[in-house]
Amino acid sequence: MCSNLILMGVVGKPHGVRGLVHVRTYAENPQTLEQSGALQDDKGRKWFLSWRGADSVAELRDANGTPLADRDAAQALVNTRLYVPRTALPEPEEEEFYHADLIGMEAFENGLSLGRVVMVHDYGAGASLELSDGSLVPFTQACVPQVHLEQRIITVVRPEEVSGEEGRGVGKRQKTEVQP
The per-residue pLDDT of the chain, averaged, comes to: 86
pLDDT at 22 over 70: yes
Q: For position 112, what pLDDT does the model report?
A: 94
The domains located in the chain, with CATH, are 5-88 (2.40.30.60), 99-155 (2.30.30.240)
Q: For position 161, what pLDDT does the model report?
A: 67
Q: For position 111, what pLDDT does the model report?
A: 92
Tell me the residue ranges of DSSP E strands in the chain: 5-15, 20-25, 39-40, 46-51, 57-62, 81-85, 106-109, 112-122, 127-131, 136-138, 146-148, 153-155
pLDDT tens for 43-65 read 999 999 999 987 799 999 999 99
Q: For position 179, what pLDDT does the model report?
A: 43
Q: For position 162, what pLDDT does the model report?
A: 53
| Alpha helical stretches, state H, the chain | 31-35, 71-75, 99-102, 160-163
- pLDDT category of residue 177 using cuts at 50, 70 and 90: very low
- pLDDT category of residue 132 using cuts at 50, 70 and 90: very high
**Mean pLDDT for the stretch of residues 7-20:** 94
Alpha-carbon dihedral 166, 169, 175, 178, rounded to 10 degrees: 30
